[in-house]
């Protein structure tokens, strides 16, 4: 497979949407994940290597950023216009909502980050090319 076949012509937003829905950014058919957040080594449909694309901490960072920017304003709105409800009300409402929102967003954001890396050809070099050692 040469470089142009490896990176089939897929526009950026199509690739990101495919990643967001947990599908291969190249073909849109195979799944990116074999479990909740575990990446497949290759796409089962088009055999695109997925291992070089490592999202690392970016999905967690973006998830925390987005959840915080959704939940904190809601907390402040309820506090201001909700006649200052007791703390147990806040804990009962916002803790489960924050966890549920983070668990929902995390695989979507990880897929989108993988798709962005793929579309920018930002995969880690393979060990045979003198790059990373691959043990991580």
Q: Which residues bind Zn ion (CB under 5 A)?
A: 24, 26-27, 30, 43, 45-46, 48
If the CB atoms of residues 42 and 90 are measured against Zn ion, the closer one turns out to be 42
Query: What is the phi/psi pair of residue 102, to 5°?
Result: -65, -45
- Smallest gap, in angstroms, from Cβ of residue 56 to Zn ion? 22
- Smallest gap, in angstroms, from Cβ of residue 20 to Zn ion? 15
Tell me the two tokens of residue 124.
Answer: 């880690």
If the CB atoms of residues 32 and 106 are measured against Zn ion, the closer one turns out to be 32
Q: Which residues contact 22 (CB under 8 A, 6 or more apart)?
A: 31, 32, 33, 107, 108, 111
H-helix or E-strand containing 92? helix 87-119
If the CB atoms of residues 109 and 115 are measured against Zn ion, the closer one turns out to be 115
If the CB atoms of residues 27 and 37 are measured against Zn ion, the closer one turns out to be 27
- Smallest gap, in angstroms, from Cβ of residue 4 to Zn ion? 16
Q: What is the dihedral of CA 36, 39, 45, 49, to 10 degrees?
A: 170
Distance of alpha carbon 62 from alpha carbon 56, whole angstroms? 12
- Smallest gap, in angstroms, from Cβ of residue 12 to Zn ion? 17
């Amino acid at each position: 497979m040469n470089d142009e076949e490896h990176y089939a012509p897929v526009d950026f937003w199509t690739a990101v949407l495919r990643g967001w829905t947990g599908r291969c950014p190249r073909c849109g058919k195979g799944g990116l994940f074999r479990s909740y957040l575990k990446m497949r080594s290759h796409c089962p449909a088009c055999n695109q290597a997925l291992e070089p694309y490592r999202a690392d901490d970016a999905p967690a960072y973006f998830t925390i950023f987005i959840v915080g920017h959704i939940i904190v304003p809601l907390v402040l709105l309820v506090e201001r216009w909700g006649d200052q409800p007791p703390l147990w009300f806040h804990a009962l409402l916002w803790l489960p909502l924050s966890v549920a929102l983070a668990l929902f967003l995390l695989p979507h954001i990880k897929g989108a980050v993988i798709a962005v890396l793929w579309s920018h050809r930002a995969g880690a070099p393979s060990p045979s090319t003198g790059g990373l050692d691959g043990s991580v």
